[in-house]
């Protein structure tokens, strides 16, 4: 199988392009008419680092690569637009395997309204995926960065925490905890929730890829403020008893955001309605710096480097 | 060295961002205000496939990764804008090595007016670079695709051919032919020439990555026309005697374009003035299909799969 034949077969299977695309892959570059402002992010997944082929089907790996990249756009409150994919193909992955990977990406692309607009295929020692995603907004100030949190803002999180880290432990222990394992292997980007939060005047936002403690620290640092988190309020995934799993476990890909307290009720209703997940207030923004996570008795919980892929 | 520390050190060394960038890497995504239309392309380079660390310095590898990606924008006649870089770092590449790679990219970025706007760093079994580049034009129809060649158009090529393939042979034979080796290891994107050709109403354009014969075939197929090439007119790199090297050797990264014959003189002057390289007429567009390369006696030369990296 040559590169050109594989690319031609890939192009045949791609879902229809979105309205911004004037020319899709097959030329030297894809042509788009963005309008307004773009948010662009790139994520790489490498076999043995971010996933394991013995744990994940190829369709799942393709879907996860695109979902993880789109999660960064969710955290900007962006409308997803285009994705550009590099596929590094090892010698033990045949053309049908590449098509399975692509089917997973195409499924997520269709679900999210993303156009697979271009890419490159190369040989590589292990399966490697690099995905660049472009999201859109009418103007640059409509994107929500990490830097706008203000003292007095409420700190909120979407969905439930700890499931992905618990799923990783289940996989490593060879257990069958399917709901956690699905959180680990089949993450979803909270795109609708991210746009609902942006519309509700969120002042800062990040997606939880490294774990609540660490990612909260990114908001605190970028915004020049402190965050107080009440550990008793954390929305733990079903069956999770260990707070550390929710605080230090990564890859939940939920959204952590700050917003004016008067927007809390409207944001909660909008997130629930548009994305089907709960929004939970877990703390507040204070003057100062750093992240404090307070346990029921008042003691502080230290976020630790928790076992995770990536 | 952690990922965050490396990313912070990288950000410190980046050249200043261009005017379209509102927020560079360090958040969930980079924010840009494109205006008009974008051309986006992605290219991956893998150690052992596209380069060899024993042949190239790390600065050269970084520079080549960006130059090769920008070559696709040159072939669209685009103004270079932003680059997003995935760096897959093997265990035997340390932080200083990563900085050398980055210095090569930063040099090419500065030379070409490209902003290194975002990226991702991950572990990988061998050095892997994936570069997404975004180029700009006031409107989508200002980009030159492969599909617009018309019978009667002149076929032109920039610069000289065969040097990169000869350089690869020199490296494999452990010879010291430095001017050819530089063509192989330090390709340049013909960005100014590409814009000059676009301004001169080029009807189709491609960059020569796979070799003249094969890349001419891409224009012929996309445009639904035939190409006649006169082998005696091919601008061979200094010291190249073997026509096959120019016809089937890849990685010269010169531009092959078609344009109305009445634009030929103006285009030649503009390319020479803006990019310092010659523009040579090597054939014409005819009705029909396929690529014919005619030797002095009138016999046809068959492009073959010539040894190349990638």
Same-domain status, A175 and A282: yes
Q: Write the residue in A28, A82, A128 that is nearest to B124 by C-beta.
A: A128
User: What average pLDDT does this structure show over A168-195?
Assistant: 90
Contact assignment for B36 to A33 by CB distance below 8 Å: yes
In this predicted structure, what is the pLDDT of residue A306?
A: 47
pLDDT score recorded for residue A309: 45
In a domain, B71, yes or no: yes
**Selected residues 162-221 of chain B with any CB under 8 Å from a CB in chain A:** 205-207
> What is the structure's pLDDT at B307?
44
Question: Do the beta carbons of residue B277 and residue B190 sit within 8 Å?
Answer: yes
Residue B188 CA to residue B107 CA, distance in Å, equals 12
Question: Do A88 and A199 fall within a single domain?
Answer: no
Number of domains in chain B: 2
How does the average pLDDT of chain A come out, rounded? 92
Which residue in the set A22, A46, A146 is minimally distant from B123, CB to CB? A46
Kindly state whether A36 is in contact with chain B, defined as any CB-CB distance less than 8 angstroms: yes
Contact across the interface for B120 and A23, Cβ inside 8 Å: no
Sign of CA dihedral B209, B211, B214, B215: positive
Q: How far is CA A265 from CA A17, A227, A256, A272, B207, in A?
A: 37, 20, 16, 11, 55
Write out chain A residues lying below 8 Å of B34, CB-based.
34, 37-38
With respect to residue B147, please indicate whether it lies within any of the assigned structural domains.
no
Please report which confidence band the pLDDT of residue B115 belongs to, taking 50, 70 and 90 as the band edges: very high
Q: Find the residue in A nearest to B76 (Cα).
A: A28
H/E element, A268: helix A264-275
Query: Does A109 map to a domain?
Result: yes
- Closest CB from A27, A122, A124 relative to B145: A27
Which of the listed residues A142, A168, A202 is the one where a domain comes to its end? A142
**Confidence (pLDDT) at B203:** 98
Selected for mutation to probe chain B from A28, A71, A119, A308 (highest B CB count within 10 Å) is A28
First to last CA, chain B: 31
Give yes or no: residues B132 and B207 share one domain.
no
Domain shared by A69 and A160, yes or no? no
Q: Which of B18, B28, B130 would you mutate first to test chain A, the one with the most A CBs within 10 A?
A: B28
Question: By CA distance, what is B132's nearest residue in A?
Answer: A132
SS3 state at B294: strand
Render pLDDT for A145-160 as a digit per residue (tens, 0 to 9).
Answer: 999 999 999 999 999 9
Residue (of A249, A237, A229) closest to A296 by Cα position: A229
pLDDT digits (tens, 9 = 90+) for A262-280: 999 999 999 999 999 999 9
Give dist(CA B211, CA B208) in Å, integer.
Answer: 6
State whether residue B306 is helix, strand or coil. Answer: coil
Q: What is residue B304's predicted lDDT score, i.e. its pLDDT?
A: 58
What does the pLDDT read at residue B308? Answer: 46
Distance (Å, rounded) from C-alpha B203 to C-alpha B146? Answer: 8
Q: Do A75 and B26 touch (CB under 8 A)?
A: no
Q: At residue A307, does pLDDT exceed 70?
A: no
Mean of the pLDDT values across residues A171-176?
87
Query: How big is chain A, counted in residues?
Result: 310
Confidence of residue A86 (pLDDT cuts 50, 70, 90): very high
Q: For residues B99 and B174, state if they share a domain.
A: no
Nearest CA in chain A to B222: A27
Q: Calculate how close chain A gets to B234, using CA atoms only, in Å.
A: 23
Q: Looking at the predicted structure, is the pLDDT value of residue B310 above 50?
A: no
Nearest to A117 among B40, B75, B124 (CB): B40
B73 and chain A in contact, CB less than 8 A: yes
| Paired tokens of B148 | 């617009």
**Which strand ranges, in their side-by-side order, compose the sheet holding B226-230?**
B204-207, B255-259, B154-158, B279-286, B226-230, B290-294, B300-301
**A100 lies in the same domain as A227:** no
B273 and A CB contact within 8 Å: no
Q: Do B46 and A124 touch (CB under 8 A)?
A: yes
Q: How many CB pairs under 8 A join A and B?
A: 197
Tell me the average pLDDT across A153-175.
93
* pLDDT at B78 (0 to 100): 98
- For the stretch A97-131, pLDDT in tens is 999 999 999 999 999 999 999 999 999 999 999 99
Q: With 90 as the cut, is the pLDDT of residue B191 above it?
A: yes
Cβ of A28 within 8 Å of Cβ of B75? The answer is yes
Residues B165, B259 within the same domain: yes
Residue B59 pLDDT more than 80?
Answer: yes
Q: Pairing mode, if any, of strands A37-46 and B21-23?
A: unpaired
Alpha-carbon span A199 to A204, nearest angstrom: 12
When CB atoms are compared, the residue of B26, B31, B118 closest to A42 is B118
| DSSP category for residue A288 | S
- The answer as to whether B263 is a domain residue is yes
Residue A295: band (very low, low, confident or very high) from pLDDT cuts 50, 70, 90: confident
CA distance A103 to A64: 12
Which residues have a Cβ under 8 Å from the Cβ of B72 and sit 6 or more positions away?
A28, A29, B39, B41, B43, B133, B207
Q: Which two tokens stand for residue A97?
A: 């395997």
Q: Which chain A residue has the Cα nearest residue B78?
A: A29
What's B11's domain CATH number?
3.30.1330.10
Is A92 in CB contact (< 8 Å) with chain B?
A: no
Domain span including residue B54: 3-142
Higher-confidence position of B8 and A44: A44
Q: Considering CB atoms only, which of B42, B78, B120 is closest to A120? A: B42
pLDDT at A308 > cutoff 50 = no
- Report the C-alpha gap between B105 and A172 in whole angstroms: 39
Higher-confidence residue of B301 and B225: namely B225
Angle at which helices A58-74 and A191-199 pack, to 10 degrees? 10
**What's residue B201's pLDDT?**
98
The SS3 assignment for B217 reads: helix
Does B147 contact A at CB distance below 8 Å? Answer: yes
Residues in chain A with CB shorter than 8 Å from the CB of B45 are 122
| Per-position b or e across B114-137, b if 16+ CB within 10 A of its CB | bbbbbbbbbebbbbbbbbbbbbbb
pLDDT value at B306 more than 70: no
Mind telling me how many Å the CA of B297 is from chain A's nearest CA?
Answer: 33
| Residue B37 C-alpha, separation from nearest chain A C-alpha, in angstroms | 4
Residue B183 lies in a domain: yes
Query: Cβ contact (<8 Å) for B39 and A29?
Result: yes
Whether B306 is covered by a domain: the verdict is no
The structure tokens listed for A84 are 């550009």
Q: Which of A26, A31, A130 sits opposite B140 (nearest CB)?
A: A31
Distance CA A263, CA A153 (A): 10
> Of residues B177 and A99, which shows the higher confidence score?
A99
CB-nearest to B37 from A32, A44, A75 is A32
Same-domain check for residues B178 and B49 = no
Judge if A194 and A242 occupy the same domain. Answer: yes
Pairing of strands B290-294, B226-230: parallel
**Predicted pLDDT of residue B3:** 67
| Strand-pair partners of A83 | A116, A133
Q: Answer whether residue A148 is part of any domain.
A: no
Q: Write down how long chain B is.
A: 310
Give kind and range of the element (H or E) at residue B109: helix B95-112
CB spacing of B135 vs A29 below 8 angstroms: yes
The CATH number that applies at residue A264 is 3.90.650.10
Query: Cβ neighbours of residue A58 under 8 Å, at least 6 residues apart?
Result: A93, A97, A100, A101, A104
B119 touches chain A (CB under 8 A): yes
What is the mean pLDDT of the segment spanning B265-294? 97
pLDDT of A300? 85
pLDDT band of residue A310 (cuts 50, 70, 90) is: very low
Q: Are A137 and A73 in contact (CB under 8 A)?
A: no
Question: Distance, in angstroms, between B308 CA and closest chain A CA?
Answer: 14
- What's the angle, vertex CA B28, arms to CA B22 and CA B32, rounded to 5? 25
Instruction: Name the residue with higher pLDDT: A191 or A173.
Output: A191
Q: Do B212 and B97 fall into the same domain?
A: no
Q: Cβ contact (<8 Å) for B126 and A125?
A: yes
Q: Does B126 contact chain A (CB < 8 Å)?
A: yes
For residues A180 and B129, the model is more confident at B129
What is the pLDDT at residue A179? 85
Q: Which of A85, A108, A142 is the last residue in one of the domains?
A: A142
Tokens of A43: 């994520």
Residue B2's pLDDT band (boundaries 50, 70, 90)? low
Same domain, A185 and A64: no
Per-residue pLDDT reduced to its tens digit, B220-246? 999 999 999 999 999 999 989 888 888
Q: Which residues of A touch B27 (CB under 8 A)?
A: 76, 145-147, 222
- Among B78, B108, B142, the domain boundary falls at B142
Q: Is residue A133 domain-shared with residue A161, that is, in the same domain? A: no
Residue B175 belongs to a domain: yes
**Quick one: tokens of A300?**
């502080």
> Which phi and psi angles does B283 have, rounded to 5°?
170, -160
> Which residues lie closer than 8 Å to B52 by C-beta, 6 or more apart?
none
pLDDT higher than 90, residue A3? no
What does B162-209 look like in DSSP terms, one character per residue? SHHHHHHHHHHTT---HHHHHHHHS----HHHHHHHHHTT-SEEEE-S
Rounded to 5 degrees, what are φ and ψ at A296?
-50, -45
At A75, give phi and psi (nearest 5°): -70, -15
Tell me how far apart the alpha carbons of residues B135 and B36 are, in angstroms, rounded to a whole number: 11
Residue among A30, A43, A50 whose CB faces B40 most closely: A30
What is the DSSP secondary-structure string of A179-225?
HHHHHHHS----HHHHHHHHHTT-SEEEE-SS-HHHHHHHHHHHHT-
């Amino acid at each position: 199988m040559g590169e050109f034949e594989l690319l031609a077969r890939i192009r045949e299977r791609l879902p229809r392009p979105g309205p911004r695309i004037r020319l899709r892959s097959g030329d030297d570059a894809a042509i788009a008419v963005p309008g307004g402002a773009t948010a662009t992010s790139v994520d790489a997944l490498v076999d043995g680092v971010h996933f394991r082929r013995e744990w994940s089907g190829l369709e799942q790996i393709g879907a996860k690569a695109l979902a993880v990249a789109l999660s960064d756009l969710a955290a900007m409150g962006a409308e997803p637009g285009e994705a550009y994919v590099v596929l590094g193909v090892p010698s033990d992955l045949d053309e049908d395997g590449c098509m399975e990977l692509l089917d997973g990406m195409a499924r997520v692309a269709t679900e999210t309204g993303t156009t697979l607009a271009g890419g490159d295929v190369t040989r590589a020692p292990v399966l490697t995926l690099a995905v660049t995603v472009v999201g859109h907004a009418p103007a640059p100030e409509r994107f929500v960065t990490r830097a706008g949190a203000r003292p007095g803002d409420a700190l909120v999180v979407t969905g439930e925490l700890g499931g992905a880290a618990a799923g990783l432990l289940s996989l490593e222990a060879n257990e069958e905890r399917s709901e956690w394992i699905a959180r680990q292997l089949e993450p979803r980007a909270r795109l609708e929730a991210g746009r609902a939060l942006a519309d509700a005047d969120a002042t800062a936002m990040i997606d939880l890829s490294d774990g609540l403690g660490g990612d909260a620290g990114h908001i605190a640092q970028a915004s020049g403020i402190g965050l107080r988190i009440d550990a008793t309020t954390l929305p733990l995934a079903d069956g999770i008893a260990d707070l550390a799993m929710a605080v230090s476990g990564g890859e939940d890909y939920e959204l952590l955001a700050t917003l004016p307290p008067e927007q809390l009720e409207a944001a909660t209703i909008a997130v629930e309605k548009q994305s089907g997940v709960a929004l939970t207030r877990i703390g507040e923004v204070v003057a100062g710096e750093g992240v404090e996570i307070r346990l029921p008795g008042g003691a502080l919980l230290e976020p630790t480097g928790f076992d995770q892929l990536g």
